[in-house]
Amino acid sequence: MASHPFEYFLWTIYPYLMLGSFFFGTIIRFTFFHAGVTAKSSEMLEKKRLMVGSTLFHVGIIGVFFGHIMGVLIPKAWTDALGISDYVYHHFIAIPAGAFFGILATVGVYMLCWRRFRNHRVFRTSSTADLIVIAALTIEITLGMLSSFVTAPVHPDFNYRTSLAIWARQLFYFQPDFRLMLATPLMYKLHVIFGLMIFGAFPYTRLVHALALPWRYVYRRFIVYRRRPQV
């Protein structure tokens, strides 16, 4: 630890600061500020790019999320026990699925980011937090794509399942070994650092609406709209 104080902080202390902010901040937000858990819509200001970008982004990010769950939380020993080799796992499962959902998320978030900053009406009605959130998501998804499809081919000997993934699982039982991250390529490190930062800021931004399941829409009565007759 003495020779790597900054690395020790990044991979042992910083993750718990961000995850603690996520969990306790979310509890506080839903307990005391539940009325503010919403995503302010700008659909009336511009609809076409919003619909296309939002659909691509949400479908892509859901796929990417479950891909991360499978890649990080499922140990390599489990897939080995099923007879799935590293070659098959990466070239027939991880890379095709990651490319498909990653491209969807990337195209979607870039459309939403362009719309947020370049559409005059949308930009003028956006809060500072709105601009920071969409910029942060754009950077994080870009870092993820660069890690998977640029850095990975440059470092063919690096296997995140035997280093980064093990470190990530160790966080859950409070014994992270920061040394597992020392040889991790920089792009992967930036992706993890930025992702943890987004988790830490999650409860204090519009992103928190993702945790608000709309159960009331299941049983609420239909809203009837009637057109005023033309005179």
68 is in an annotated binding site: yes
The dihedral sign for the CA sequence 136, 141, 144, 146: negative
Is residue 41 situated within a structural domain? Answer: yes
Residue 119 lies in a domain: yes
Could you tell me the end-to-end alpha-carbon distance of the chain, in angstroms, rounded to an integer? 81
Residues 6 or more apart in contact with residue 36 via CB below 8 angstroms: 29
Please give the residue range of the domain that contains residue 173: 5-219
**Per-residue pLDDT tens over the stretch 200-214:** 999 998 888 777 765
- Is residue 117 situated within a structural domain? yes
Is 228 contained in some domain? no
Q: Are 180 and 167 in contact (CB under 8 A)?
A: yes
The count of domains in the chain is: 1
Residue 147 lies in a domain: yes
Output the pLDDT for position 225.
61
The reported pLDDT for the residue numbered 67 is: 94
Torsion over CA: 150, 153, 155, 159 (sign)? positive
The Cα–Cα gap between 217 and 220 comes to: 5
Look at residue 230 and tell me if it is in a domain: no
Q: Is 155 one of the annotated binding-site residues?
A: no
What is the percent of the chain with per-residue pLDDT over 90, rounded to a whole number? 64
Q: Read off the pLDDT of residues 106-120 as tens digits, 9 standing for 90 and up.
A: 999 999 999 999 999
**pLDDT (tens digit, 9 = 90+) per residue, 168-197?**
999 999 999 999 999 999 999 999 999 999
- pTM for this entry: 0.86
Is 151 within a domain?
yes
Residues in the chain: 231
Cα 119 to its chain centre, rounded Å, is 24
CATH of the domain at 96: 1.20.950.20
> How confident is the model at residue 220, as a pLDDT?
61
90 is in an annotated binding site: no
120 marked as binding residue: no
Q: Is residue 231 part of a domain?
A: no
Best-predicted range by mean pLDDT among 36-40, 77-81, 120-124, 163-167? 163-167
Angle at 90 between CA 88 and CA 95, to 5 degrees: 125
* pLDDT-derived band at 38, boundaries 50, 70, 90: low
Answer yes or no: are the C-beta atoms of 97 and 67 closer than 8 Å.
yes
